[in-house]
Amino acid sequence: MTNATRIAIVDESPVRSAILEEGLRDAGYTQIIVIGETSGLLARLQAIDPDMIVIDLENPSRDSLEQMFHVSRLVSRPVAMFVDQSDSPMIAAAIEAGVSTYIVDGLKQSRVKHIVETAIVRFNAFTKLKQELAEAKSKLEERKVLDRAKGILMRVKNISEDEAFRLIRRAAMNENRTLAQVAQSIVTAAELLR
Amino acid sequence: MTIPLRIGFIPLLDAALLVAARDEGFAEAEGLRLDLVREVSWANIRDKLNVGLFDAAHMLAPAAIASTLGLGHIKVAISVPIALNLNGNAITVSRPLYEALAAEAATAPSQDPRASSAALKRLIGRRAAAGQPPLTFAHTFPFSTHHYQLRTWMAAGGIDPERDTNLVVIPPPLMAKSLESGHVDGFCVGAPWNATTIAAGHAMIMHHGTQIVADCPEKVLGVPTRLVDERPETVTALVRALAGAAGWCADPANRAALARLMARPEILGVAPAIVEMILAGALSLGPAAPAAPDLAYIRLDPAALRPIAAQVDFLLAQMADAGQLASPGAHRADAHRVYRPDLFECAGVTAGQTPIPQPFAARLRDGR
Protein backbone atom coordinates (compact mmCIF):
# COMPACT_ATOMS: atom_id res chain seq x y z
CA MET A 1 0.00 0.00 0.00
CA THR A 2 1.40 3.38 -0.88
CA ASN A 3 0.42 6.67 0.65
CA ALA A 4 0.58 10.12 -0.89
CA THR A 5 0.76 12.09 2.37
CA ARG A 6 3.63 14.51 1.91
CA ILE A 7 5.96 14.57 4.94
CA ALA A 8 8.84 16.98 5.46
CA ILE A 9 11.54 15.87 7.91
CA VAL A 10 13.55 18.80 9.29
CA ASP A 11 16.61 17.38 11.04
CA GLU A 12 20.27 18.37 11.00
CA SER A 13 21.30 14.81 11.89
CA PRO A 14 21.57 12.91 8.59
CA VAL A 15 21.68 9.52 10.34
CA ARG A 16 18.54 10.12 12.40
CA SER A 17 16.59 11.52 9.45
CA ALA A 18 17.64 8.48 7.36
CA ILE A 19 16.39 6.15 10.11
CA LEU A 20 13.04 7.98 10.24
CA GLU A 21 12.73 8.15 6.47
CA GLU A 22 13.29 4.42 6.23
CA GLY A 23 10.63 3.79 8.87
CA LEU A 24 8.09 5.92 7.04
CA ARG A 25 8.87 4.29 3.70
CA ASP A 26 8.47 0.85 5.28
CA ALA A 27 5.07 2.03 6.51
CA GLY A 28 4.08 2.88 2.94
CA TYR A 29 4.74 6.63 2.79
CA THR A 30 6.45 7.57 -0.44
CA GLN A 31 6.38 11.38 -0.42
CA ILE A 32 9.13 12.17 2.07
CA ILE A 33 11.42 15.18 1.83
CA VAL A 34 14.37 15.52 4.20
CA ILE A 35 15.63 19.05 4.93
CA GLY A 36 19.01 19.02 6.67
CA GLU A 37 19.90 22.69 6.21
CA THR A 38 17.95 25.14 8.33
CA SER A 39 18.97 28.23 6.39
CA GLY A 40 16.18 29.13 3.99
CA LEU A 41 13.95 26.61 5.77
CA LEU A 42 10.72 28.58 5.45
CA ALA A 43 11.13 29.09 1.72
CA ARG A 44 11.84 25.38 1.28
CA LEU A 45 8.72 24.43 3.23
CA GLN A 46 6.56 26.84 1.26
CA ALA A 47 7.81 25.25 -1.95
CA ILE A 48 7.27 21.70 -0.68
CA ASP A 49 3.85 22.48 0.83
CA PRO A 50 3.86 19.39 3.06
CA ASP A 51 0.87 17.81 4.82
CA MET A 52 2.99 17.25 7.87
CA ILE A 53 6.30 18.50 9.25
CA VAL A 54 8.45 16.43 11.60
CA ILE A 55 11.20 18.44 13.34
CA ASP A 56 13.76 17.52 16.00
CA LEU A 57 13.69 19.48 19.28
CA GLU A 58 17.38 20.40 19.06
CA ASN A 59 16.51 22.50 16.03
CA PRO A 60 16.41 26.23 16.84
CA SER A 61 14.10 26.82 13.85
CA ARG A 62 11.00 25.65 15.72
CA ASP A 63 10.14 29.20 16.79
CA SER A 64 10.52 30.42 13.20
CA LEU A 65 8.26 27.61 12.06
CA GLU A 66 5.56 28.45 14.60
CA GLN A 67 5.57 32.10 13.56
CA MET A 68 5.15 31.05 9.95
CA PHE A 69 1.92 29.30 10.90
CA HIS A 70 0.67 32.45 12.64
CA VAL A 71 1.20 34.61 9.58
CA SER A 72 -1.42 33.19 7.28
CA ARG A 73 -0.11 34.76 4.09
CA LEU A 74 3.09 32.71 4.35
CA VAL A 75 1.30 29.39 4.16
CA SER A 76 -1.38 28.32 1.75
CA ARG A 77 -3.12 25.99 4.20
CA PRO A 78 -3.90 26.34 7.91
CA VAL A 79 -1.83 24.33 10.35
CA ALA A 80 -2.86 22.51 13.47
CA MET A 81 0.06 22.55 15.87
CA PHE A 82 -0.36 19.09 17.29
CA VAL A 83 -2.38 15.90 17.20
CA ASP A 84 -5.20 16.85 19.54
CA GLN A 85 -5.62 17.96 23.12
CA SER A 86 -6.97 14.64 24.30
CA ASP A 87 -3.89 12.72 23.31
CA SER A 88 -1.46 13.92 25.93
CA PRO A 89 0.42 10.60 26.43
CA MET A 90 1.40 10.74 22.79
CA ILE A 91 2.50 14.37 23.09
CA ALA A 92 4.61 13.47 26.12
CA ALA A 93 6.15 10.48 24.34
CA ALA A 94 7.06 12.64 21.35
CA ILE A 95 8.63 15.44 23.41
CA GLU A 96 10.56 12.90 25.49
CA ALA A 97 11.81 11.26 22.32
CA GLY A 98 12.95 14.71 21.11
CA VAL A 99 10.58 15.20 18.21
CA SER A 100 7.76 17.57 17.37
CA THR A 101 5.25 17.52 14.56
CA TYR A 102 3.10 20.09 12.80
CA ILE A 103 0.07 19.04 10.85
CA VAL A 104 -1.79 20.77 8.09
CA ASP A 105 -5.53 20.87 8.65
CA GLY A 106 -7.48 18.15 6.95
CA LEU A 107 -5.02 15.33 7.43
CA LYS A 108 -6.79 12.27 8.85
CA GLN A 109 -6.38 11.81 12.61
CA SER A 110 -5.52 8.11 12.27
CA ARG A 111 -2.83 8.89 9.72
CA VAL A 112 -1.37 11.62 11.93
CA LYS A 113 -1.11 9.23 14.87
CA HIS A 114 0.52 6.61 12.74
CA ILE A 115 3.20 9.03 11.54
CA VAL A 116 3.83 10.46 15.02
CA GLU A 117 4.17 6.92 16.42
CA THR A 118 6.67 6.02 13.73
CA ALA A 119 8.65 9.18 14.48
CA ILE A 120 8.72 8.42 18.22
CA VAL A 121 9.87 4.83 17.67
CA ARG A 122 12.57 5.85 15.22
CA PHE A 123 13.84 8.77 17.31
CA ASN A 124 14.10 6.48 20.33
CA ALA A 125 15.86 3.85 18.22
CA PHE A 126 18.39 6.48 17.14
CA THR A 127 19.00 7.58 20.74
CA LYS A 128 19.58 3.95 21.77
CA LEU A 129 21.95 3.47 18.85
CA LYS A 130 23.88 6.57 19.89
CA GLN A 131 24.13 5.34 23.48
CA GLU A 132 25.35 1.93 22.33
CA LEU A 133 27.92 3.59 20.12
CA ALA A 134 29.14 5.73 23.03
CA GLU A 135 29.34 2.64 25.26
CA ALA A 136 31.23 0.66 22.64
CA LYS A 137 33.62 3.57 22.25
CA SER A 138 34.27 3.82 25.98
CA LYS A 139 34.74 0.02 26.17
CA LEU A 140 37.32 0.29 23.40
CA GLU A 141 39.08 3.06 25.33
CA GLU A 142 39.08 0.88 28.46
CA ARG A 143 40.50 -2.01 26.45
CA LYS A 144 43.33 0.22 25.23
CA VAL A 145 44.20 1.40 28.74
CA LEU A 146 44.16 -2.18 30.00
CA ASP A 147 46.53 -3.23 27.23
CA ARG A 148 48.91 -0.38 28.07
CA ALA A 149 48.81 -1.23 31.80
CA LYS A 150 49.55 -4.91 31.04
CA GLY A 151 52.46 -3.85 28.82
CA ILE A 152 53.90 -1.70 31.59
CA LEU A 153 53.67 -4.51 34.18
CA MET A 154 55.16 -7.05 31.74
CA ARG A 155 58.12 -4.76 31.09
CA VAL A 156 58.77 -3.64 34.67
CA LYS A 157 58.20 -6.97 36.41
CA ASN A 158 59.32 -9.14 33.51
CA ILE A 159 56.15 -11.27 33.62
CA SER A 160 53.79 -12.76 31.03
CA GLU A 161 50.65 -11.05 29.77
CA ASP A 162 48.46 -13.53 31.69
CA GLU A 163 50.32 -12.78 34.94
CA ALA A 164 50.03 -9.04 34.33
CA PHE A 165 46.28 -9.40 33.82
CA ARG A 166 45.94 -11.50 37.01
CA LEU A 167 47.78 -8.81 39.00
CA ILE A 168 45.47 -6.11 37.75
CA ARG A 169 42.40 -8.23 38.42
CA ARG A 170 43.51 -9.01 41.96
CA ALA A 171 44.18 -5.32 42.69
CA ALA A 172 40.76 -4.45 41.33
CA MET A 173 39.11 -7.06 43.54
CA ASN A 174 41.05 -6.07 46.65
CA GLU A 175 40.41 -2.36 46.23
CA ASN A 176 36.85 -2.78 44.97
CA ARG A 177 37.62 -0.89 41.77
CA THR A 178 37.08 -1.70 38.11
CA LEU A 179 39.79 -3.16 35.87
CA ALA A 180 39.81 0.09 33.89
CA GLN A 181 40.33 2.18 37.03
CA VAL A 182 43.28 0.09 38.17
CA ALA A 183 44.75 0.06 34.67
CA GLN A 184 44.42 3.84 34.46
CA SER A 185 46.27 4.23 37.81
CA ILE A 186 49.12 2.08 36.51
CA VAL A 187 49.35 4.11 33.30
CA THR A 188 49.24 7.42 35.19
CA ALA A 189 51.84 6.25 37.73
CA ALA A 190 54.13 5.02 34.96
CA GLU A 191 53.88 8.39 33.21
CA LEU A 192 54.74 10.23 36.44
CA LEU A 193 57.70 7.94 37.18
CA ARG A 194 59.09 8.14 33.70
CA MET B 1 16.01 17.59 52.51
CA THR B 2 16.95 19.24 49.23
CA ILE B 3 14.27 19.54 46.57
CA PRO B 4 15.57 19.23 42.99
CA LEU B 5 13.96 21.48 40.36
CA ARG B 6 14.58 21.17 36.65
CA ILE B 7 14.34 24.59 35.02
CA GLY B 8 14.64 25.45 31.32
CA PHE B 9 16.24 28.66 30.08
CA ILE B 10 17.17 30.34 26.82
CA PRO B 11 20.66 31.91 26.50
CA LEU B 12 19.74 35.50 27.36
CA LEU B 13 21.01 37.87 30.03
CA ASP B 14 17.60 37.93 31.71
CA ALA B 15 18.13 34.32 32.82
CA ALA B 16 20.51 35.94 35.34
CA LEU B 17 18.35 35.43 38.45
CA LEU B 18 18.14 31.69 37.81
CA VAL B 19 21.89 31.40 37.32
CA ALA B 20 22.70 33.57 40.35
CA ALA B 21 20.17 31.68 42.50
CA ARG B 22 21.89 28.41 41.60
CA ASP B 23 25.51 29.55 41.78
CA GLU B 24 25.48 32.10 44.61
CA GLY B 25 23.74 29.92 47.20
CA PHE B 26 20.25 31.50 47.18
CA ALA B 27 18.53 28.28 46.05
CA GLU B 28 20.49 26.15 48.50
CA ALA B 29 19.48 28.47 51.35
CA GLU B 30 15.85 27.66 50.49
CA GLY B 31 16.47 23.92 50.35
CA LEU B 32 16.36 23.80 46.56
CA ARG B 33 18.76 22.39 44.00
CA LEU B 34 18.32 24.02 40.58
CA ASP B 35 19.14 21.95 37.54
CA LEU B 36 19.25 24.56 34.74
CA VAL B 37 18.77 23.20 31.23
CA ARG B 38 19.66 25.41 28.26
CA GLU B 39 17.08 25.23 25.46
CA VAL B 40 17.14 26.30 21.82
CA SER B 41 13.55 27.47 21.35
CA TRP B 42 10.62 28.98 23.26
CA ALA B 43 8.49 26.23 21.72
CA ASN B 44 10.65 23.61 23.49
CA ILE B 45 10.28 25.47 26.80
CA ARG B 46 6.49 25.48 26.48
CA ASP B 47 6.31 21.82 25.42
CA LYS B 48 8.68 20.56 28.13
CA LEU B 49 6.72 22.45 30.79
CA ASN B 50 3.59 20.87 29.39
CA VAL B 51 4.76 17.27 29.59
CA GLY B 52 6.46 17.70 32.96
CA LEU B 53 10.08 17.53 31.80
CA PHE B 54 10.56 20.97 33.39
CA ASP B 55 9.30 22.09 36.80
CA ALA B 56 9.64 25.75 35.84
CA ALA B 57 11.15 27.89 33.09
CA HIS B 58 12.48 31.25 31.95
CA MET B 59 9.55 32.43 29.82
CA LEU B 60 8.49 35.37 27.71
CA ALA B 61 5.75 37.12 29.69
CA PRO B 62 3.27 37.15 26.76
CA ALA B 63 4.09 33.51 25.95
CA ALA B 64 3.05 32.47 29.47
CA ILE B 65 -0.34 34.10 28.84
CA ALA B 66 -0.64 32.71 25.29
CA SER B 67 0.17 29.16 26.49
CA THR B 68 -2.52 29.38 29.14
CA LEU B 69 -5.08 30.69 26.65
CA GLY B 70 -4.09 28.05 24.10
CA LEU B 71 -3.32 30.60 21.39
CA GLY B 72 -1.77 28.99 18.33
CA HIS B 73 -1.15 25.77 20.20
CA ILE B 74 -2.71 23.40 22.70
CA LYS B 75 -3.52 24.87 26.10
CA VAL B 76 -0.68 24.67 28.60
CA ALA B 77 -1.77 26.27 31.88
CA ILE B 78 1.10 28.36 33.29
CA SER B 79 1.30 30.42 36.48
CA VAL B 80 3.67 33.33 37.04
CA PRO B 81 4.62 33.82 40.71
CA ILE B 82 7.53 36.21 39.98
CA ALA B 83 9.00 38.14 37.07
CA LEU B 84 12.68 37.72 36.18
CA ASN B 85 13.34 41.25 34.89
CA LEU B 86 12.01 44.37 33.20
CA ASN B 87 13.38 45.72 29.89
CA GLY B 88 16.58 44.51 28.20
CA ASN B 89 15.64 44.69 24.52
CA ALA B 90 16.91 46.91 21.74
CA ILE B 91 16.15 47.47 18.08
CA THR B 92 19.26 47.01 15.95
CA VAL B 93 19.46 47.82 12.25
CA SER B 94 22.00 47.20 9.52
CA ARG B 95 24.46 49.98 8.78
CA PRO B 96 22.92 50.71 5.33
CA LEU B 97 19.43 50.99 6.88
CA TYR B 98 20.73 53.24 9.67
CA GLU B 99 22.36 55.54 7.12
CA ALA B 100 19.22 55.62 4.96
CA LEU B 101 17.16 56.56 8.04
CA ALA B 102 19.68 59.21 9.08
CA ALA B 103 19.33 60.74 5.60
CA GLU B 104 15.51 60.77 5.94
CA ALA B 105 15.38 62.18 9.49
CA ALA B 106 16.01 65.75 10.52
CA THR B 107 17.82 64.80 13.72
CA ALA B 108 19.94 61.79 14.70
CA PRO B 109 17.34 59.01 14.31
CA SER B 110 18.26 57.23 17.56
CA GLN B 111 17.18 60.23 19.64
CA ASP B 112 13.47 59.90 19.10
CA PRO B 113 11.68 56.68 18.14
CA ARG B 114 8.70 58.59 16.74
CA ALA B 115 10.93 60.59 14.42
CA SER B 116 12.85 57.48 13.32
CA SER B 117 9.58 55.65 12.67
CA ALA B 118 8.35 58.52 10.50
CA ALA B 119 11.66 58.37 8.65
CA LEU B 120 11.22 54.60 8.20
CA LYS B 121 7.72 55.20 6.79
CA ARG B 122 9.11 57.64 4.21
CA LEU B 123 11.90 55.23 3.33
CA ILE B 124 9.43 52.36 2.90
CA GLY B 125 7.35 54.55 0.55
CA ARG B 126 10.44 55.49 -1.47
CA ARG B 127 11.56 51.87 -1.72
CA ALA B 128 8.10 50.69 -2.83
CA ALA B 129 7.95 53.40 -5.49
CA ALA B 130 11.34 52.26 -6.78
CA GLY B 131 10.11 48.67 -6.94
CA GLN B 132 12.50 47.46 -4.23
CA PRO B 133 11.50 44.51 -2.03
CA PRO B 134 10.03 45.24 1.44
CA LEU B 135 12.43 45.53 4.38
CA THR B 136 12.64 42.46 6.62
CA PHE B 137 12.57 42.78 10.42
CA ALA B 138 13.12 39.91 12.82
CA HIS B 139 11.90 39.20 16.30
CA THR B 140 12.08 36.08 18.45
CA PHE B 141 8.60 34.60 18.92
CA PRO B 142 5.03 35.52 17.94
CA PHE B 143 4.17 36.09 21.63
CA SER B 144 7.17 38.23 22.58
CA THR B 145 7.72 41.81 23.66
CA HIS B 146 10.31 41.99 20.86
CA HIS B 147 7.52 41.47 18.36
CA TYR B 148 5.30 44.04 20.10
CA GLN B 149 8.07 46.64 20.49
CA LEU B 150 8.81 46.47 16.77
CA ARG B 151 5.10 46.96 16.06
CA THR B 152 4.76 49.83 18.56
CA TRP B 153 7.77 51.57 17.01
CA MET B 154 6.41 51.10 13.48
CA ALA B 155 2.88 52.15 14.41
CA ALA B 156 4.20 55.50 15.71
CA GLY B 157 5.16 56.43 12.14
CA GLY B 158 2.02 54.97 10.56
CA ILE B 159 3.65 51.78 9.29
CA ASP B 160 1.54 48.63 8.95
CA PRO B 161 4.05 45.88 9.71
CA GLU B 162 2.03 43.24 7.84
CA ARG B 163 1.54 45.24 4.68
CA ASP B 164 4.71 47.37 4.61
CA THR B 165 7.38 45.02 5.93
CA ASN B 166 8.27 41.39 6.20
CA LEU B 167 8.25 40.18 9.82
CA VAL B 168 10.14 36.97 10.57
CA VAL B 169 11.28 35.01 13.62
CA ILE B 170 14.96 34.16 14.15
CA PRO B 171 16.52 32.54 17.25
CA PRO B 172 18.42 35.23 19.25
CA PRO B 173 21.93 33.78 18.85
CA LEU B 174 21.47 33.74 15.04
CA MET B 175 20.36 37.39 14.72
CA ALA B 176 23.82 38.83 14.05
CA LYS B 177 24.52 36.37 11.27
CA SER B 178 21.17 37.07 9.59
CA LEU B 179 21.88 40.80 9.58
CA GLU B 180 25.39 40.33 8.27
CA SER B 181 24.20 38.04 5.47
CA GLY B 182 21.48 40.53 4.50
CA HIS B 183 18.58 38.17 5.28
CA VAL B 184 17.18 40.81 7.64
CA ASP B 185 17.52 44.60 7.77
CA GLY B 186 16.78 45.02 11.45
CA PHE B 187 15.61 43.19 14.54
CA CYS B 188 14.44 43.50 18.10
CA VAL B 189 16.11 41.09 20.49
CA GLY B 190 17.13 40.86 24.16
CA ALA B 191 20.55 41.26 25.77
CA PRO B 192 23.30 40.42 25.01
CA TRP B 193 22.54 39.86 21.32
CA ASN B 194 22.32 43.52 20.29
CA ALA B 195 25.67 44.28 21.93
CA THR B 196 27.38 41.28 20.33
CA THR B 197 25.98 42.30 16.93
CA ILE B 198 27.28 45.87 17.05
CA ALA B 199 30.60 44.58 18.40
CA ALA B 200 30.96 42.74 15.09
CA GLY B 201 30.69 46.12 13.32
CA HIS B 202 27.97 45.72 10.67
CA ALA B 203 25.05 47.17 12.62
CA MET B 204 23.86 50.02 14.83
CA ILE B 205 21.54 50.01 17.80
CA MET B 206 18.61 52.14 16.72
CA HIS B 207 16.68 52.28 20.00
CA HIS B 208 16.86 50.85 23.45
CA GLY B 209 13.68 48.99 24.35
CA THR B 210 13.16 51.55 27.12
CA GLN B 211 12.72 54.28 24.48
CA ILE B 212 9.78 52.33 23.03
CA VAL B 213 8.23 51.12 26.31
CA ALA B 214 9.58 52.13 29.71
CA ASP B 215 9.40 49.42 32.42
CA CYS B 216 8.30 46.81 29.91
CA PRO B 217 7.50 43.35 31.34
CA GLU B 218 9.96 40.90 29.81
CA LYS B 219 10.79 37.43 31.18
CA VAL B 220 8.92 35.68 33.95
CA LEU B 221 9.22 32.46 35.89
CA GLY B 222 6.65 30.16 34.31
CA VAL B 223 5.47 27.27 36.48
CA PRO B 224 2.92 24.68 35.35
CA THR B 225 -0.29 25.56 37.19
CA ARG B 226 -0.69 21.96 38.37
CA LEU B 227 2.69 22.21 40.15
CA VAL B 228 1.61 25.44 41.85
CA ASP B 229 -1.54 23.66 43.04
CA GLU B 230 0.30 20.55 44.22
CA ARG B 231 3.44 22.08 45.77
CA PRO B 232 2.82 25.76 46.63
CA GLU B 233 5.60 25.83 49.31
CA THR B 234 8.19 24.71 46.75
CA VAL B 235 7.08 27.52 44.44
CA THR B 236 7.26 30.18 47.16
CA ALA B 237 10.71 28.88 48.19
CA LEU B 238 11.83 29.34 44.59
CA VAL B 239 10.36 32.86 44.56
CA ARG B 240 12.38 33.72 47.69
CA ALA B 241 15.56 32.28 46.16
CA LEU B 242 15.07 34.36 43.01
CA ALA B 243 14.28 37.53 44.95
CA GLY B 244 17.45 36.95 47.00
CA ALA B 245 19.41 36.52 43.78
CA ALA B 246 17.89 39.80 42.48
CA GLY B 247 19.24 41.66 45.50
CA TRP B 248 22.68 40.26 44.75
CA CYS B 249 22.44 41.00 41.00
CA ALA B 250 21.32 44.60 41.59
CA ASP B 251 24.36 45.42 43.75
CA PRO B 252 26.90 47.21 41.49
CA ALA B 253 29.66 45.60 43.57
CA ASN B 254 28.63 42.21 42.12
CA ARG B 255 28.41 43.39 38.50
CA ALA B 256 31.75 41.92 37.41
CA ALA B 257 31.03 38.62 39.16
CA LEU B 258 27.57 38.40 37.58
CA ALA B 259 29.06 39.19 34.15
CA ARG B 260 31.52 36.31 34.60
CA LEU B 261 28.73 33.92 35.69
CA MET B 262 26.59 34.77 32.68
CA ALA B 263 29.39 34.91 30.09
CA ARG B 264 30.39 31.25 30.63
CA PRO B 265 30.17 29.01 27.55
CA GLU B 266 27.40 26.88 29.06
CA ILE B 267 25.22 29.97 29.71
CA LEU B 268 25.74 32.71 27.06
CA GLY B 269 29.16 31.99 25.63
CA VAL B 270 30.14 35.65 25.06
CA ALA B 271 32.90 37.95 26.35
CA PRO B 272 32.40 38.97 30.03
CA ALA B 273 33.25 42.60 29.16
CA ILE B 274 30.19 42.83 26.90
CA VAL B 275 27.91 41.51 29.66
CA GLU B 276 29.41 43.91 32.19
CA MET B 277 28.88 46.85 29.82
CA ILE B 278 25.20 45.89 29.37
CA LEU B 279 24.68 45.49 33.14
CA ALA B 280 26.16 48.98 33.59
CA GLY B 281 23.59 50.30 31.08
CA ALA B 282 26.40 51.61 28.86
CA LEU B 283 25.15 50.09 25.62
CA SER B 284 25.93 52.51 22.80
CA LEU B 285 23.06 53.93 20.81
CA GLY B 286 23.46 54.87 17.17
CA PRO B 287 26.87 56.13 16.18
CA ALA B 288 27.48 57.98 19.46
CA ALA B 289 27.72 56.40 22.88
CA PRO B 290 25.08 57.67 25.32
CA ALA B 291 26.11 60.63 27.43
CA ALA B 292 24.89 58.95 30.63
CA PRO B 293 24.43 55.24 31.29
CA ASP B 294 20.84 54.01 31.21
CA LEU B 295 20.57 52.01 34.43
CA ALA B 296 17.05 50.88 33.50
CA TYR B 297 18.29 49.29 30.26
CA ILE B 298 17.83 45.92 31.94
CA ARG B 299 16.32 45.76 35.43
CA LEU B 300 17.09 42.71 37.55
CA ASP B 301 16.45 44.38 40.93
CA PRO B 302 13.83 43.16 43.45
CA ALA B 303 11.46 46.06 42.65
CA ALA B 304 11.19 44.78 39.07
CA LEU B 305 9.85 41.37 40.04
CA ARG B 306 6.32 41.62 41.44
CA PRO B 307 3.93 40.35 38.74
CA ILE B 308 1.18 42.99 38.58
CA ALA B 309 -2.24 43.07 36.92
CA ALA B 310 -1.36 46.24 34.98
CA GLN B 311 1.28 44.21 33.12
CA VAL B 312 -1.32 41.63 32.08
CA ASP B 313 -3.58 44.42 30.77
CA PHE B 314 -0.64 45.92 28.90
CA LEU B 315 0.32 42.57 27.34
CA LEU B 316 -3.29 41.76 26.37
CA ALA B 317 -3.50 45.12 24.60
CA GLN B 318 -0.27 44.34 22.74
CA MET B 319 -1.57 40.91 21.73
CA ALA B 320 -4.83 42.44 20.53
CA ASP B 321 -2.95 45.08 18.50
CA ALA B 322 -0.95 42.29 16.85
CA GLY B 323 -4.19 40.53 15.88
CA GLN B 324 -3.50 37.58 18.16
CA LEU B 325 -6.73 37.76 20.16
CA ALA B 326 -9.97 37.09 18.34
CA SER B 327 -12.02 38.64 21.15
CA PRO B 328 -9.83 40.34 23.77
CA GLY B 329 -12.67 40.65 26.28
CA ALA B 330 -13.30 36.90 26.33
CA HIS B 331 -9.71 36.13 27.40
CA ARG B 332 -9.35 38.78 30.07
CA ALA B 333 -10.33 36.74 33.14
CA ASP B 334 -8.24 33.70 32.13
CA ALA B 335 -5.23 35.87 31.35
CA HIS B 336 -5.38 37.57 34.73
CA ARG B 337 -5.31 34.22 36.49
CA VAL B 338 -1.81 33.58 35.02
CA TYR B 339 -0.15 36.28 37.13
CA ARG B 340 0.01 35.32 40.79
CA PRO B 341 1.02 38.34 42.88
CA ASP B 342 -0.53 36.42 45.80
CA LEU B 343 2.25 33.80 45.60
CA PHE B 344 4.82 36.60 45.45
CA GLU B 345 3.29 38.05 48.63
CA CYS B 346 3.16 34.59 50.25
CA ALA B 347 6.91 34.26 49.76
CA GLY B 348 7.33 37.24 52.07
CA VAL B 349 9.61 39.13 49.71
CA THR B 350 10.06 42.80 50.56
CA ALA B 351 10.30 44.73 47.32
CA GLY B 352 9.19 48.09 46.03
CA GLN B 353 6.12 48.41 43.82
CA THR B 354 6.78 47.32 40.24
CA PRO B 355 6.24 50.23 37.85
CA ILE B 356 3.52 50.19 35.19
CA PRO B 357 4.71 49.87 31.56
CA GLN B 358 4.60 53.17 29.62
CA PRO B 359 5.00 53.46 25.86
CA PHE B 360 7.23 56.30 24.64
CA ALA B 361 7.78 57.61 28.16
CA ALA B 362 11.57 57.58 28.31
CA ARG B 363 13.37 60.89 28.46
CA LEU B 364 15.40 61.78 25.40
CA ARG B 365 18.90 60.70 26.15
CA ASP B 366 20.97 63.84 25.93
CA GLY B 367 18.99 66.28 23.85
CA ARG B 368 21.68 66.55 21.22
Condensed to tens digits (0 to 9), the pLDDT of residues B22-61 reads 999 999 999 999 999 999 999 999 999 999 999 999 999 9
Contacts of B52 in chain A (CB under 8 A): 92
Instruction: Give start and end residues of each alpha helix (H) in chain B.
Output: 16-23, 26-29, 42-50, 61-69, 95-104, 113-129, 145-156, 161-164, 175-180, 193-200, 209-212, 225-230, 232-250, 255-263, 272-279, 309-321, 328-338, 341-346
**Ramachandran assignment for A22, one of left (phi > 0), alpha (psi -120 to 50 degrees), beta (any other):** alpha
Tell me what pLDDT residue B1 has: 81
pLDDT tens figures, B184-235: 999 999 999 999 998 877 899 999 999 999 999 999 999 999 999 999 999 9
Mean pLDDT by 10 residues, chain B (368 residues): 96 98 98 98 94 96 95 88 97 94 85 93 96 96 96 96 93 88 94 90 90 96 97 98 97 97 97 95 74 86 96 96 86 95 92 89 44
- Out of A62, A71, A91, closest to residue B51 by CB: A91
What dihedral do alpha carbons A113, B53, B138, B70 form, nearest 10°? Answer: 60
Contact A63 B72 (CB under 8 A): no
With respect to CATH, is domain A134-193 assigned 1.10.10.10? yes
Under 8 Å CB pairs connecting chains A and B tally to 73
Under CATH, what is the fold of the domain A7-132? D-Maltodextrin-Binding Protein; domain 2 (3.40.190)
Residue B152: how many other CB atoms lie within 10 Å: 21
Tell me what pLDDT residue A76 has: 59
pLDDT tens figures, B81-96: 999 999 999 999 999 9
Nearest-CA distance from B12 to chain A in Å? 14
Matching fold, domains B3-86+216-358 and B89-213: yes
Domain boundaries, chain B: 3-86+216-358, 89-213
Domain boundaries, chain A: 7-132, 134-193
Mutate to test the interface with A, among B39, B42, B44, B75 (most CBs of A within 10 A): B44
Helix (H) or strand (E) run with residue A171 in it? helix A161-175
A62–chain B Cβ distance below 8 A for any pair: yes
Tell me what pLDDT residue B365 has: 39
CA dist A192 → A164, A188, B170 (Å): 20, 6, 52
Mean pLDDT by 10 residues, chain A (194 residues): 82 93 93 88 86 91 85 58 64 90 78 87 92 91 94 95 94 92 94 88
Instruction: Identify the DSSP state of A55.
Output: E
Residue A69: closest C-alpha in chain B: B72
Interface confidence (ipTM) of the complex: 0.88
Contacts of B162 in chain A (CB under 8 A): 71, 73
A79–chain B Cβ distance below 8 A for any pair: no
A59–chain B Cβ distance below 8 A for any pair: yes
A60–chain B Cβ distance below 8 A for any pair: yes
Residue A67: closest C-alpha in chain B: B142
Q: Which residues contact A64 (CB under 8 A, 6 or more apart)?
A: A41, A42, B168, B169, B170, B171
Tell me what pLDDT residue A114 has: 87
Under CATH, what is the fold of the domain B89-213? D-Maltodextrin-Binding Protein; domain 2 (3.40.190)
Tell me what pLDDT residue B363 has: 46
Tell which CATH architecture fits domain B3-86+216-358. 3-Layer(aba) Sandwich (3.40)
Contacts of A58 in chain B (CB under 8 A): 40
